[in-house]
Amino acid sequence: MTKYVYTFAEGNANMRTLLGGKGANLAEMTRIELPVPPGIIVTTEACLDFYQEEGGKFPEGLEEQIRQGIKYLEQAMDKKFGDANDPLLVSVRSGAPVSMPGMMDTILNLGLTDVSVQGLAEKTENERFAYDCYRRFIQMFGDVAMSIPGEKFEDALAELKNAKGVVLDTDLTADHLKELIQEFKAIYREHVGEDFPQDPYSQLLSAVHAVFASWNNERAKVYRRLNKISDDLGTAVNIQVMVYGNMGPTSGTGVAFTRNPATGENALYGEYLINAQGEDVVAGIRTPEPIDHLKEEFPNIYDEFHRVAKLLEDHYHDLQDIEFTVQEGKLYILQTRSGKRTAAAAIKVAVDLVREGKISKQEALLRVDPAQLVQLMHRRIDPEAKIEIVATGLPASPGAATGKVVFTADEAEARGNDGENVILVRTETTPDDIHGLVSARGVLTSRGGMTSHAAVVARGMGKPAVCGCEGIKIDAESELFVVGNETVKKDDVITIDGATGHVILGVAPMIEPELTGDFETILDWADEVRTLDVRANADYPRDANQARQFGANGIGLCRTEHMFMEPSRLPIVQEMILAGTPEGRRESLAKLLSIQEEDFYGILKAMAGYPVTIRLLDPPLHEFLPKVEELLVKITELRITKKDPERLSQLQELLRKVRALAEFNPMLGHRGCRLGVTFPDVYEMQAQAIFNAVSRLVKEGVEVYPEIMIPLVGIPAELELLREIVVQVAEKTKEREGVQFEYKVGTMIELPRACLVADKIAQHADFFSFGTNDLTQTTFGFSRDDAEGKFLPAYIEKKILQENPFAVLDEEGMGQLIALAVEKGRSVRNDLHVGICGEHGGDPESIDFCHRTGFDYVSCSPFRVPVARLAAARAELLNRNK
Amino acid sequence: MTKYVYTFAEGNANMRTLLGGKGANLAEMTRIELPVPPGIIVTTEACLDFYQEEGGKFPEGLEEQIRQGIKYLEQAMDKKFGDANDPLLVSVRSGAPVSMPGMMDTILNLGLTDVSVQGLAEKTENERFAYDCYRRFIQMFGDVAMSIPGEKFEDALAELKNAKGVVLDTDLTADHLKELIQEFKAIYREHVGEDFPQDPYSQLLSAVHAVFASWNNERAKVYRRLNKISDDLGTAVNIQVMVYGNMGPTSGTGVAFTRNPATGENALYGEYLINAQGEDVVAGIRTPEPIDHLKEEFPNIYDEFHRVAKLLEDHYHDLQDIEFTVQEGKLYILQTRSGKRTAAAAIKVAVDLVREGKISKQEALLRVDPAQLVQLMHRRIDPEAKIEIVATGLPASPGAATGKVVFTADEAEARGNDGENVILVRTETTPDDIHGLVSARGVLTSRGGMTSHAAVVARGMGKPAVCGCEGIKIDAESELFVVGNETVKKDDVITIDGATGHVILGVAPMIEPELTGDFETILDWADEVRTLDVRANADYPRDANQARQFGANGIGLCRTEHMFMEPSRLPIVQEMILAGTPEGRRESLAKLLSIQEEDFYGILKAMAGYPVTIRLLDPPLHEFLPKVEELLVKITELRITKKDPERLSQLQELLRKVRALAEFNPMLGHRGCRLGVTFPDVYEMQAQAIFNAVSRLVKEGVEVYPEIMIPLVGIPAELELLREIVVQVAEKTKEREGVQFEYKVGTMIELPRACLVADKIAQHADFFSFGTNDLTQTTFGFSRDDAEGKFLPAYIEKKILQENPFAVLDEEGMGQLIALAVEKGRSVRNDLHVGICGEHGGDPESIDFCHRTGFDYVSCSPFRVPVARLAAARAELLNRNK
């Protein structure tokens, strides 16, 4: 006969598959002699055998084994199931081998009947409590086990309160509750077609049946499919004796952490309530007391709890979050789990545990969630401060900032450069606004998603941004925005928190980033373990310096278009684009050459000793010109007012040129290496600027490792052609300047076709850097600027996608292309250097993918570098034994 | 000792690899005893052995074998190489196993020296001829074998003519030419560093060396790489005795076809010149005579030639294009090759050859180029007509049309519907212009590429279009366009030819499409062979009827958005999109439901008995709304003039809504199934309209096979969700109407991600139809609307791409994705029906790919159906034994 039922005492932590996660945990606590209320577990095997029969049927022997289990509990507690005087009551919970939502909710107080409820009332000398337990039990059992719509019971409760003229549930008397129980039983009868069961075993078997059935409900099935959890696991059922913290002055309930979850300090931290149930703590009607007070009030209980807490922490080697109940002077542990904690606490606890000799350095690395580290990298609003949040947008770039509101990039720049703290508020930003973003303390937009221009640029700069904040209505012309009933004018002060998306009127108190010694320690340990290099995306020397401070091993992406966008340079760029003659064009290029040379000199010098990947010009040329719409409006105005015919005809001419460059789908247009192919002089100028800077630095004795990256290659001949241009400039420069230097030429892999013909492309490439932003766009056919504002939210909500693929790399689809490209590339060139420079380079899950796929490095924004260092170490540890 | 040199008599047609294509062909003609001037062939093996040595070196024995070969020729011709009286002269030509440009040009008259030229002069009694031969030889040898820049010789020639005061080369006397020879020899000496060789063997060996060297020149290497031709083939060298048609009145030269290459008529067709060389025919100074005249002038020669012509045709089983020379009454065949012919001739010749029992039906299918068939499917301008072409644009949609110029779609519609012939002239067209395109005879645009909106729609309608015709400057406001010095006003008559891109002022004479009996015969034979079904893309019943006439096996793509665009419906569609309330939206959808039902009723009825694939709504909604730019101009006008404040505020409100829907990259935006996910009611309405129509037809006893296609799926859950909507509507309709019908639900595969997760998508799909237009866009990251106007021409020109990937399917890159998708799809569903409905479905090369990749059908525009039927048959034949 298969053993379908285990007592807690018979199991242990390793029996997860058979007993479920919750059951194995309870068994483990029992095994190490913690005061856990006794219980039994119906195995996952019973659940699977249940499904052997079409529609489900208890396997042979299960019912009898459950009855034996209850007998065991009766003996342990010296009570009787369904007893009229002192009834044994139990809770019933599902518990699968892996945690998953969608499974059956808990049923408490099972075993109560019209008879046993009186026994409970007498025993607890609290009639109201007993009947309240009973009505809750009927409600939970009806809802959870019998699928009676929950609102039926809620409506009946509301009606009764109405009839009795009371507001709170707690105002209902025992008699009221007895009335309510009659109502509830009627509802039960109506929906189920029979009376509420008065046999406790019948209640119990129905509850077990309901848990089994919940394994195959729609929600659970969808969750398993989406999370790739096998349908063949089944769920266990935990049946545990109920204990009560509201049985008088020597009873109570509480929650405590073994260490402080905010700071990591090694001291019990928590609170409790005397003569109360868990839900009373949550309801907030009475104020709980700090756990320390227990020491004075009930020293024995405190000592016992303290002992148990240490035992648990030692056992699990981690900070524990423990729920306990004291029933008539006896301590029971109801649950323990790894406690949630702040990033600061996570780091301190991990480092302390290593120092205490309890865990290894490598275990410590697995205890800190890299995504959390972002919290530590930025100023943030003091969570203790009383502030009023007037609107919430997308948390687009972490960090908090306070400043005066301005509505144009020009004003942000002018006043920001004068030392004022300003927040740039725009409907959305465009590359024209870069100079304003540079000088503002932060940016707030009412449109655009997590990868909108403002968001991407702000993250790159490590500058706070709240984007897509639809709650604010901007009237840029009047220089104000409306939020709720408030009108915020230019120069009014606001605070934004890009980690939460919050917008606050006025000044909010801040906490500065804490780079404690422990933080550094953890990252040093990470560096010992990781095999992936971590580089930073940085366009300016100041970003490069920042990146070095955060531990970057190089620059993985230096975009040159931001340099083109700076207000002092834009006119020269426009001149070059609009030049009517080859001479005019050459003249503009010559001016740009010397400017770019200084750019590259600065960044290469800042990263002395480290590689710097410089991407040649990428965006379509029209991005540097005025917008068609703006010109059209001005032209129409001038046409009608007839005020300035000369200006009109200039603008019309300009419009013609702008229109000739305009595109239907700029993302898929004349950009990247396509510019290099059609305007080789631009790439040649950039290459010349780089190698001029390199030559100067070499002469100054500075170590430089330039890597020239050709963007948007999809056809091997593109790279062949453009590589040749770069190589020729480099070799000529060496000769002319009489210096020697090393350099690499490679490409950004950001098109599906590039992945498909990666073997042929690799013949001309020293390195591949995956541009996963664009690769996501083309693989999915999603324009990120449009998708995030239009249909992606609906896709996430409807679970068509589990995550935004611009935030977390799509391993299922795009991952195949990347893996193929790496394999093909290395097949012709086994020393091909492979990295990623899309935003995914700073996402821990995506970094794990890069590690598994054999990348050499990841590159991300400077403020993400610590995250990536830790994530890279974890990727190594987690995949080591696979 | 390896045999490196073969005489023509020793080879045959099967020795291509060793003797090269040209050599094997000459040998074959010799073998069947045609009067070919004798010659010898240096093998490809000699070339490969030459390259065994770094830098190249004649292998041992080669020189001696060449000398032996010359001896053989001397004996055959009874002349001596370098003889002072009657020298043997030879030509030297390269000839690789596969034809390829970039190889060495021909050297003629080799063997001439200062001595032998006198012998030639005496023998031909034509001193001028002899010295002209000599100066040409020096020039060719210097240029081709010694890499002396050709212009050096050209300049010397020009100078001499100048000095002598003559205009034409032919005006130079023998003495002039002697002077020129001195000049040429000086040039030779200057560049080569030694005298022009006077030993004919030395000349010959240098020439052979030059042929070998040309195998590895840059142009040849690039060509081989691009065309995937192995570098290990090597080239042969053909050394053939020179014959001359200008040796007096019994000499001559000519070209003839064994059948008429324009009509296919079975009769010799060609022309000849007495006492002339081949280049005289080309130069056009004297008018050649028709080949028939030879019968009277030289009956023996004519008979001999006639015999040879028949022999050649019988031998090669195809129409031959023959070059011949008569030297002093003796006929020599210099070259024969399969003759180029018109589509009509190709068909007639192929069918006739089958009837004459010379080739099989299957061989006949291989003799007709499917791409040529397009010529027969449309009216065209009479090629004999004298017309003046004023501008040339892209040949965007074949066929010719004459009509009055109009500049707006509305006018085109109104006047077209009144029976006038009009040509719509626009800078470019948008979906708003559809009604004008429908009613115009043709369309001419000044912007846009081969896949611009106008081009695609016109091809779909089988309507002539010339696009991207930059030579015309349109001033739509003044209703005129300027081309060169001409101004064409509204109502002026023009003719366009979409097969050539020509624009002609006034009426041009036309030839109507010829669907001869032979054409039908060939297509019937194709149908017997092909395994691919051929469907048509058709949006309206009239297109469907056309498709049936051309032999389509069904409709592979019926786009529903064109139905939405019709002027009578667009307002309802706009109403639906802009509806402020759910009720308003439902009302508009109800109106659309009954309209769409009629659409589907019509098309399903027209295709009774055949499948019809209906694609649910695909374009982004803003395509149905006014353009932001237009609104901006109107609003600015109203704002300044203050004339109509009410209208202004309406337009401002409209602009807000249009802006909210506007997108940065519409191609990658909120379209396709993304609309279905976010606006399920639209797809539901369309499904309902389809199944209502199906129910009516079933009741009427009409056989219908509807296939509902969900566009732009990239995520399995999208299809799962939307399939469910369609299935529910279908099942409810069956129940409500009490009818039974079959239907399929499938998806368009047009995103890289769809290919990557095709196995998961196939779980919800009855069929895959590859939308290769969009798949090309996303795989390459090319917006076709932008690429074809901006950088693609440069890409083709610089050989970065060999072909426009929107015209010919990119097998190298995208082909991998398609093959992967078919394999993955069939791995979970082996009866998955697979087709293509992008424009590649009508391209022969792409059809071959589809055949090889296991497709079930291709779908193309109705006018391409005959092309596809033939191409499908050829694909089967050509791949049968692979």
DSSP assignment string, A4-48:
-EEEGGG--GGGHHHHHHHHHHHHHHHHTT--PPPEEEE-HHHHH
Quick check: B752 and A778 CB within 8 A?
yes
CA distance B440 to chain A (A): 26
- Round to whole Å and give the CA distance between B269 and B271: 7
In total, chain B counts a number of residues equal to 882
A706 backbone φψ class: left, alpha, beta (φ>0; ψ -120 to 50) = beta
Average pLDDT over residues B315-341: 90
Q: Which letter, b or e, does each residue of B55-76 get, where b requires 16 or more Cβ atoms within 10 Å of its Cβ? A: eeebbebbeebbeebbebbeeb
Q: Is the pLDDT score of A584 beyond 80?
A: yes
Q: CB–CB of B438/B463 below 8 Å?
A: no
Whether complex ipTM tops 0.90: no
CA distance A784 to chain B (A): 8
Quick check: B665 and A779 CB within 8 A?
no
Q: Using a CB-CB distance cutoff of 8 angstroms, which residues of chain B are in contact with residue A757? A: 812-813
pLDDT value of position B75: 95
For the record, the structure tokens of B380 come out as 């065209």
For the record, the structure tokens of A668 come out as 């898929």
Quick check: A813 and B757 CB within 8 A?
yes
Does any CB of chain A come closer than 8 Å to the CB of residue B718? yes
Residue of A nearest to B225 (CA): A717
pLDDT value of position B790: 82
Residues of B involved in catalysis: 453, 837
Quick check: A774 and B781 CB within 8 A?
yes
- The model's confidence at residue B102, banded by pLDDT at 50, 70 and 90, is low
- Round to whole Å and give the CA distance between B581 and B823: 46
Quick check: A756 and B629 CB within 8 A?
no
Give SS3 for B102: coil
Q: Using a CB-CB distance cutoff of 8 angstroms, which residues of chain B are in contact with residue A721? A: 798, 800
For the record, the structure tokens of B3 come out as 């045999």
pLDDT above 90: percentage of residues in chain A: 68
- Round to whole Å and give the CA distance between A816 and A821: 9
Q: Is the pLDDT score of A514 beyond 70?
A: no
Residues 6+ apart with CB under 8 A from A623: A431, A561, A666
Quick check: B677 and A778 CB within 8 A?
no
CA distance A705 to chain B (A): 30
pLDDT value of position B307: 93
Q: Greater confidence, A343 or A194? A: A194
Does any CB of chain B come closer than 8 Å to the CB of residue A717? yes
- Choose the most confident range, by mean pLDDT, from A654-658, B430-434, B876-880: B876-880
- The pTM assigned to this predicted structure is 0.80
B770 residue type, one letter: F
Residues of A involved in catalysis: 453, 837
- B187-217 tens-digit pLDDT: 999 999 999 999 999 999 999 999 998 898 8
- B385-423 tens-digit pLDDT: 888 899 999 888 888 999 999 999 989 988 988 889 999
A816 residue type, one letter: Q
For the record, the structure tokens of B838 come out as 């992008």
Residues 6+ apart with CB under 8 A from B515: B376
Quick check: B668 and A810 CB within 8 A?
no
Q: Using a CB-CB distance cutoff of 8 angstroms, which residues of chain B are in contact with residue A794? A: 677-678
Q: Is the pLDDT score of A97 beyond 60?
A: yes
- A780-810 tens-digit pLDDT: 999 988 887 788 888 988 889 988 999 899 9
Which residue out of A226, A643, A659, A674 would a mutagenesis test of the B interface target, given it has the greatest number of B Cβ atoms within 10 Å?
A: A674
pLDDT value of position A284: 55
Alpha helices in A269-298 (DSSP H): 278-283, 293-297
Residue of B nearest to A674 (CA): B791
Contacting A residues, span 768-807, partner chain B, CB-CB under 8 Å: 774, 777-783, 785-787, 790-791, 794-795, 798-801
Contacting A residues, span 666-685, partner chain B, CB-CB under 8 Å: 666-670, 674, 677-678
CA distance B640 to chain A (A): 7
Q: CB–CB of A351/A364 below 8 Å?
A: yes
Quick check: B668 and A777 CB within 8 A?
yes
Measure CB to CB from residue B800 to each of A677, A751, A795 and give the nearest one.
A677
CA distance B582 to chain A (A): 18
Q: Greater confidence, B205 or A561? A: B205
A591-595, B549-553, B785-789: lowest mean pLDDT where?
A: B785-789
For the record, the structure tokens of A382 come out as 């003091």
Does any CB of chain B come closer than 8 Å to the CB of residue A385? no
Which residue out of B779, B796, B799 would a mutagenesis test of the A interface target, given it has the greatest number of A Cβ atoms within 10 Å?
A: B779
A10-19, A369-378, A695-704, B283-292: lowest mean pLDDT where?
A: B283-292
Q: Is the pLDDT score of B513 beyond 80?
A: no
Please give the backbone phi and psi of residue A247, each rounded to the nearest 5 degrees, phi first.
-95, 25
Q: Greater confidence, B417 or B687? A: B687
A171 residue type, one letter: D
Q: For the beta carbon of residue A470, count every other beta carbon within 10 angstroms.
A: 12
Q: Is the pLDDT score of A20 beyond 90?
A: yes
Quick check: B721 and A798 CB within 8 A?
yes
Measure CB to CB from residue B791 to each of A633, A674, A810 and give the nearest one.
A674
Q: CB–CB of A138/A195 below 8 Å?
A: no
- B624-644 tens-digit pLDDT: 999 999 999 999 999 999 989
Taking the CA atoms of A222, A226, A227 and A233 in sequence, report the sign of the dihedral they define.
Answer: positive
Q: Give CA separation, B299 vs B281, B302, B306, B521, in Å.
A: 21, 5, 10, 38
- The model's confidence at residue B281, banded by pLDDT at 50, 70 and 90, is low
Does any CB of chain A come closer than 8 Å to the CB of residue B618? no
- The model's confidence at residue B451, banded by pLDDT at 50, 70 and 90, is low
Quick check: A750 and B781 CB within 8 A?
yes
Q: Using a CB-CB distance cutoff of 8 angstroms, which residues of chain A are in contact with residue B812? A: 756-757
Quick check: A786 and B674 CB within 8 A?
no
DSSP code of residue B617: P
pLDDT value of position B431: 67
Does any CB of chain B come closer than 8 Å to the CB of residue A513? no
Residue of B nearest to A662 (CA): B786
Q: Is the pLDDT score of B321 beyond 80?
A: yes
B92 sits in which H/E element: strand B90-95
Which residue, B232, B117, B138, is CA-closest to B192? B138
Average pLDDT over residues A838-859: 96
CA distance B732 to chain A (A): 23
pLDDT value of position A26: 92
Residue of B nearest to A635 (CA): B633
Average pLDDT, chain A: 91
A73-87, A281-295, A521-535: lowest mean pLDDT where?
A: A281-295
Quick check: B668 and A668 CB within 8 A?
yes
